[in-house]
Amino acid sequence: MQHKIDRFGRFFHWRFRRILRFIGGVR
């Protein structure tokens, strides 16, 4: 179960970082 959370967290972190970069580029 913890492994699944870690994998989901990593994917979420990657998506969050991409969104932040997108906002920074627009701004």
DSSP-assigned letter for residue 27: -
Residue with tokens 């627009």: 26
Indicate the SS3 state at residue 1: coil
**Cα-Cα-Cα-Cα dihedral sign, residues 13, 19, 20, 21:** positive
Tens of pLDDT, residues 3-26: 888 888 899 999 999 999 998 887
The total of structural domains in the chain comes to 1
Nearest in space to 19 (alpha carbons), one of 4, 6, 27, 8: 27
Query: Per-residue confidence at 1, pLDDT binned at 50, 70, 90?
Result: confident
Using CA atoms, how far apart are residues 1 and 14, in angstroms rounded to an integer? 20
Q: Which domain holds residue 7?
A: 1-27
pTM above 0.85, yes or no: no
